Chain A
Amino acid sequence: MQKRIALKVNGRPVQIEIDIRESLLDVLRDRLQFTGVKQGCSVGECGACTVLIDGVPVNSCIYLAAWADGKSVTTVEGIAQDGRLSPVQEAFVEEGAIQCGFCTPGLVLSTTALVESGKRFTHDEVRRELSGHLCRCTGYQKIIDAAERALREAEAASE
């Protein structure tokens, strides 16, 4: 069954006809070509496909596109503004948190959500918050460093 949905992707309104069985991941990648959204497992295990839905990180592979009707979706392509990296992206680059880069978009989005929550997180809380993302390259060390740096900087900026 087809359904027409209206959503915002990275701030831009999008109207699209979808099959109600389609995942948001497939619609974003295959139809709208937001290929920064990565597919690592398709069943909610790896976190590579994470997007923000109204600011909340969600595995887009197990989220039906139909549910996104009326929602605001942010992909990694929507994070840099006017060609400038966001502080979270800067932190990932500076800390060397990127290797093959396949897990990176999802982690950038989850970290962005942490930063935007305005809350404080302990080291262990940061680890727990990011634990839905699998990364085989980095051993997570520099990813944690990057997330903590971004949180620290955001906190310093808000003081």
Chain B
Amino acid sequence: MDHNIVGKSVTRLDAVAKVTGKAKYTDDFFERDMLVGKVLRSPHAHAVVKSVDLSRARALPGVAAVFTALDLPKIKFATAGHPWSLDPGHRDVEDRLILTDKARFVGDAVAAVVAEDALTAEKALRLIDIEYEVLPHVLTAEDAMKEGAPLLHENRPGNVVSSFGVQFGDVEAEFGRADHVIEGDYETSVVQHCHIESMSAFAYVDADGRVVVNSSTQIPHIVRRIVAQALGLPWGRVQVIKPYIGGGFGNKQDVVVEPLAAAMSLAAGGRPVRYCMTREEVFIDTRTRHAMKLHLKTAVDADGTLRGIHVQLLSNTGAYASHGHSIAMSAGGKFRPLYDFASVKFEPKTVYTNLPVAGAMRGYGTPQIFFALESHLDDIARRLGIDPIELRRKNLIKVGHQDPLTKNVVRSFGIPQCIEKGMELIRWDEKRRAHLDQKGPRRRGLGMALFAYASGTHPVALELAGARIVMNQDGSVTLQVGATEIGQGSDTVFAQITAEVLGLPIGMVHVVTTQDTDITPFDSGAYASRQTFVTGIAVRKAAMEVRDKVLEVAARRTGLAPAEMDIRDCRIVETALGRVVCSLEDVAMDAYYDRLLAAPITSDTSANVRINAMSYGATFVEVDVDVETGKVEVAEIWNVHDSGTIINPRLAEGQVHGGVSMALGAALLEQMLFDPQTGKALNNNLLDYKLPTILDTPRINAAFVETFEAAGSFGSKSLGECPVISPAPAVRNAVLDATGVAFHKIPLYPQVVFEKFREAGLLAQRSVDHV
């Protein structure tokens, strides 16, 4: 299909604002007499607050308020950024207080101070006297489930948040029938989002007595609801404003600082209060990625036919549920529309421990399960002596596949082409041959892995998106959406969709990038890679409505029927003849000022998208392994994606680059470390936590296989989270290829790699080689 603007690398709309420093983020707004909020955090992993004395802190000059849980409404609320569920059975776990009366991890917020400046606030924190009754704590999911383990929350025996699972077919019967039953254990570590902007909000009470929260969030409408719930306010009494945000990656799909910022303002008589976390606080008291342990047991025939799989998954969610079990369930749903298992048994458990809280992070459980599954498939291929790519090819689903549980139908499936393209780009066959029989200290290896991902959350949750378009007098349009621009480029994509439908140059589409719950169309926000797919449908619908109205007004003017006309480059043309009949501006002016028929052209619409589209892709990687130091370096990497039509290739590449780099961080470098004795984070800063720098990052290559997805706008489907899923197992498989050593846990950082090589005898082997 021929498009003018869709499919082009339009420059992102906010590029100039960002490159000149004009883009304003939450901390860039100042209110007169703004106060500073700070938090006192528990030094214990598990402790009950026995007594509190705030008198010394309150007496410090410059302190406006000091408070603890005792001063706040005792309302338990859930923080996960999901649409509200009318069905109480489907709501997130309500286990949180704004400030806690029982600390459940080192860093849990127990008291807050509001003061004239940061220094005074810090001083006041030190004057708060709290007496704790220290309780025993648990840091691993296994320990937390043991008989007699300390319980973190009431009503959760064994600290299990949920063990709800799913299955179809008869996996036990497949184990009996198959030629082989192969098992493997795989494990991922705690990593953190590390958006470079902190977690921050400021709040005040406005002249009408409403609570206004300005926040760095992906989900303004959800923040509004949760702030109101946490404080026991009517929802309409809260207004949330989201300006530019400096990255989110899922961490800001959770309500972390906003209720507290609002509580701080209320405690200070409604004065404006800023609560911006330090980097060290961001690491411990926002969210992390769930560390998971997976046991996979697969029934497979000698020819490589995968018959059934039993997945046992243990997810450590830390001290509070946050997104909780949804993440494990998401993991369980993603591999089914990729490999055609006759039976699947998915048994997840999400467990509380006394660690910082895990929540949503780019990929939402999917990177963890694909690390396990794609590693497992290579292990199976080795056992059976089958080529790992052939094993995968043999078991792929086909277009038209319907998931037996969700009933989602796969309408576009570009995996076979992704595999072909990836092999070609990395020169798979040629390099495979070149790598045979390596013995030296440096070895090359090739690995690959596949993934599948969804576009939005249907049918698990509501997928409602809102869009509003107003045509201005000059024929330009102003577009408002409730889905948030968080750096991924969604505003630009929405402008492209609008411009395409309306026959406008991109410069004639103005997107309001700030969301304000008082005026922004209702939409649940930026997550689940839903914006282009879900909100794109609403934007397209709004643009079509505007187009229809434009042609109606043009019909009045020209006497032609609307169906005989089109909008092209700001002009109305008679389609058959290509003849310009009037300008778009003429139409817009009629709509605003015609004495009889004036009615400005607008559309304010929403789409309840009750369909999903699976996106796919593959990583192909070549690694360079230094056997003597345990260092694994990526020599070449390709991520090949089927995300349907690519609306903006340059933005799409950017998503792939960022996602792959985040995945390589988790594969090779990143993990949060905790003192096993105390539960205290050991590396909660950007020096000790190994976020990849420019020097750690190889050249990352992105490629696309463009299928057409009938359900999406212009054939598009999700992309944002996809690139983070398959690189880690591909790297792990490449190390296996290079050395014959199978790793079962990420990250593969030099120390563990070296030790495992030594265990495997690679070092001895090498010294023999050199004799």
Contact = CB atoms under 8 A, between A and B. Distances in A.
Contacts of B28: 29, 35
What is the interface residue range for chain A against chain B? 35 or more
A41 B658 contact: no
B506 to A, nearest CB: 14
Given A48-B196, A137-B487, A137-B658, A42 B278 contact: yes
B196 A46 contact: yes
Given A36-B22, A75-B21, A103-B196, A41 B691 contact: no
A153 B9 CA distance: 22
B700 A141 contact: yes
Nearest to B22: A36
A35 B487 contact: no
Interface residues of B, number: 55
Contacts of A75: 21
B18 A98 contact: yes
Contact of B662 (A77, A105, A136, A144): A136
Interface string B179-197: 0000000000000011111
A143 B693 CA distance: 12
A156 interface: no
A93 interface: yes
B695 A108 contact: no
A71 interface: no
Interface in A59-84: 75-77, 79-80
Interface string A91-109: 0111010111111110010
Interface string B149-193: 000000000000000000000000000000000000000000001
B716 interface: no
Contact of B20 (A42, A76, A140): A76
A127 B694 contact: yes
B732 interface: no
B196 A135 contact: yes
Nearest to A146: B19
B20 A77 contact: yes
Contacts of A140: 657, 661, 694, 697
A35 B16 contact: no
Nearest to B702: A141
Contacts, number: 166
Contacts of A102: 25, 195-197, 246-247, 487
B653 A45 contact: no
Contacts of A48: 196
Contacts of B658: 99, 136-139
A144 B697 CA distance: 11
Contacts of A40: 196-198, 246, 279, 686
Nearest to A126: B694
Contacts of B406: none
A42 B691 CA distance: 16
Contacts of A138: 654, 657-658, 661
Contact of A139 (B17, B650, B687, B697): B697
A131 to B, nearest CB: 5
Contacts of A39: 27, 198
B24 interface: yes
A77 B246 contact: no
A43 interface: yes
B660 interface: yes
B653 A96 contact: yes
Interface in B643-665: 650-651, 653-654, 657-662
Contact of B695 (A77, A101, A131, A135): A131
Nearest to B118: A26
B686 A41 contact: yes
B19 A43 contact: no
Contacts of B659: 139
B432 interface: no
A33 B30 contact: yes
Interface of B: 9, 11-12, 14-25, 27-28, 30, 193-198, 244-247, 249, 278-279, 486-489, 650-651, 653-654, 657-662, 685-687, 691, 693-695, 697, 699-700
Given A93-B15, A102-B487, 17 more contacts: A35-B27, A36-B20, A38-B196, A38-B246, A45-B687, A77-B22, A98-B18, A100-B197, A100-B246, A104-B19, A105-B21, A127-B695, A137-B654, A138-B661, A139-B658, A139-B662, A141-B657
Interface of A: 29-30, 33-43, 45-46, 48, 75-77, 79-80, 85, 89, 92-94, 96, 98-105, 108, 127-128, 130-131, 133-144
28 contacts: A33-B30, A35-B25, A40-B246, A41-B279, A43-B687, A45-B685, A46-B196, A75-B21, A85-B19, A92-B15, A96-B11, A98-B14, A99-B247, A99-B489, A99-B658, A100-B195, A100-B196, A100-B246, A101-B18, A102-B246, A104-B19, A128-B695, A134-B693, A138-B654, A140-B657, A140-B694, A142-B657, A143-B694
